[in-house]
Amino acid sequence: MTGDLTDKVVVVTGGGSGIGEALCRHLAQHHPAAVAVVDRDPSTAQATAERLGAVGHAFPADLASEEATLGVITQITEEVGPIDVWCGNAGIFTFGGFEVPTESWNQAWNVNVMAHVWAARRLVPDMTARGGGRFLVTASAAGLLAQIGSAPYSVTKHAAVAFAEWLSITHGDDGIEVTLVCPQAVATAMTAGVPGGGVAGVDGMLSADEVAAAAVDGMLAGEFLVLPHPEVAAYARRRAEDPGRWLAGMRRLQQRFVGGIGPRDDRNQP
């Protein structure tokens, strides 16, 4: 499948705004049969689908539950066709640490991790039977490093990265291609009101369009890891080579931004 989306059915979750909306536009340029825009906000899903023209289809759904995730997959399959590419882009950010209520932890876990698991559980057997398929996982540099100010985001994005790796290792030889996208600060609703993108903006804030372009290009090139902020690769190496020094540096970085990180709860990825 690498390099070709012609006549494929593509799904983008969190597709109503931010990176998801930009992904929909970039994917639509590669002649798919359909781009299914999934978003918990029916109006933004519909608006994005209309901008795509004939290939756009709106499917309102909140992927915080297995029932809703499996339900929208069934609906898309019946109304548009078998899914070839699943772009799991919906995400949620919750500010805070261990004091965050369990309900909020569970919500972050469901949206940021389990939605990928539920989709793969349903789609991998069908994709494999048809000769292969693709998953694009929008995670975050937080999943490779850490997110100062948010334990739920750090933990769930690490889990999303691990699941993407597992999926590629376990099913890569079955024709399942996986691309993992890990940006730092992106100009979306999630970073609105945070000057310079906060701690994640130390290397500059990219537009959603820039991140989507990098993600689609990487996916079509068959890349596993896409780093729209290339500096993240060096940070990950330092973390692996000298964890103590890296943690000390992160604590210093945290001190610079104390009081500069505010609550954010938005399911359209940064």
What would the DSSP string read from start to end of 104-119? HHHHHHIIIIIHHHHH
pLDDT of residue 242: 97
Determine contact, residues 149/160, Cβ cutoff 8 Å: no
Q: Give the CATH H-level superfamily of domain 9-231.
A: NAD(P)-binding Rossmann-like Domain (3.40.50.720)
Paired with 176 in beta bridges are 133
pLDDT of residue 211: 95
Read off the pTM: 0.89
pLDDT of residue 256: 80
pLDDT of residue 234: 94
Mean pLDDT per segment of 10 residues, for the chain of length 270 residues?
Answer: 86 96 97 98 97 97 97 98 97 94 97 98 98 97 93 97 98 98 80 52 80 96 96 95 95 75 39
From the CB of residue 1, how many other CB atoms can be counted at a distance below 10 Å? 18
For the chain, the structural domain boundaries read 9-231
Q: Which of 85, 87, 86, 76 is nearest to 7 (CA)?
A: 85
H helix runs in the chain, sequence order: 18-28, 42-52, 66-79, 102-109, 115-129, 151-171, 208-220, 231-241, 243-257
pLDDT of residue 188: 63
Distances (CA, A) of 28 to 24, 72, 144, 165, 197: 6, 20, 29, 27, 29
pLDDT of residue 209: 94
